[in-house]
A and B are shown apart, each in its own frame.
Chain A
C-alpha cells in the first residue's frame, strides 16, 4: 500500500513491495549473468525455483522420480536457451513453459502409473473429517485423500495442472495466467470446470452439503 500525499518523495512503498522489487532486480541480474555463461548465477536461479518446479511436476506426473528428472531436464533446457530469454520477464513463468511441455510429453509417451497419494502426499490439516459421510477419522481422511488423488488422476492433464497450481502450490490467478499465457478470466473459468469435474467424480464420497 502506498501512502497518498502531495509530496511525491514521501510515497512509501511497503516492506513487501520493496522486497518484491529487490527480488525482481536480483533475478534480473542472475538472468543476465547466466546469459553471459556464469553457471553459478544459473545455479542460484535453480536453487530458488527447484522446489516449486519439483512439486508442480509431481502434481502433473504423479511420480516423484519423473518429477525430479523432468524438472532438472527443464532447467538444463532453460540454461541452453537462456540467451533467448528477455531478462525483465519472470524467470519461473518462462521456465514453466519448458517444464509443462516436458511433463505433458511424458504423460503422452507413457501410460501413466501415478503413485498413490499415500506415497507422495500427506495431510495438511485435520479438518477433513467434517465433510465425510462416516465419522471415522484418520482412516477416513486417508481414504478421502486417496479418492481425491485418484479422481485427480482421471482428470484431463490441463484440468489437473490448474488444480495443482492453485490448490497445492497456491499460485495467484495472475501468476497462473503468466505461467500458462492465458487471461485471468480463462484461469478462473478453467478452475471452475476442473473443480466441477473433480466434485462430480467424488459425489458419492462427499456428504450432501445442503
Chain B
C-alpha cells in the first residue's frame, strides 16, 4: 500500500509539471479511479493553479545593466583589499616595533610619558577593534537594514 501511494505521488508530481509519458498517463488515470487519490490530486492541482499565477517582479533594467560591472568592481577591490591589508600589517608591525623601542629603550623620555604612550596605543587599538566588530555585527543582523528612510 505504501509503495502504491509512493508511486501515485511520483506520478502526481509528473502530472502537475507536465512530465508524464503516455504510459504513465494511463497508469495515473487508473489511480484516479480511487476516491482518495482523486481527492489528493484535485487539491494539488488547485494549489498548482494558484502558484502558476505568481511570478517575481522584474527589477529595473539598470540592475541588469550594472550587474556585471558591480561583480567586476568587487572582484578588483578584493585584490586591492588583500594588498592594502598586507601593506597595513607590515606598516603597523614596523610602527609598533619602533614604538616598543622608543618606550622600552628611550631613556630620554620620562616614565610618565612612556606610560601615556602605551595607554594611548592600547586604548586606541581596543576602541578600533570594538567599533569595527560592532559595525560588522549590526550590519549582519540588523532587521531594519532594508527599510528605506
Contact = CB atoms under 8 A, between A and B. Distances in A.
B50 A168 contact: no
Interface residues of A, number: 64
By DSSP majority rule, is chain A's interface helix, strand, loop, or mixed?
helix
Interface of A: 39, 43, 46-47, 50-51, 54-55, 58-59, 63-66, 68, 72-73, 75-76, 79-80, 109-111, 113, 115, 117, 119-128, 130-131, 141, 144-145, 148-149, 163, 166-168, 172-173, 185, 188-189, 191-192, 195-196, 198-199, 202, 206-207, 209-210
22 contacts: A51-B64, A58-B56, A59-B56, A63-B146, A72-B74, A75-B71, A76-B74, A109-B140, A110-B143, A113-B146, A121-B54, A126-B53, A127-B52, A145-B53, A149-B54, A167-B52, A189-B9, A191-B13, A191-B17, A195-B16, A198-B47, A207-B46
Interface string B42-58: 11111111111111110
B55 A124 contact: yes
B56 A209 contact: no
Nearest to B14: A188
Interface in B78-119: 78
Contacts of A148: 50-51, 54
Given A63-B146, A113-B143, A188-B13, A210 B42 contact: yes
A188 B13 CA distance: 6
A166 B17 contact: yes
Given A188-B13, A192-B9, A46 B71 contact: yes
Contacts of A122: 54-57
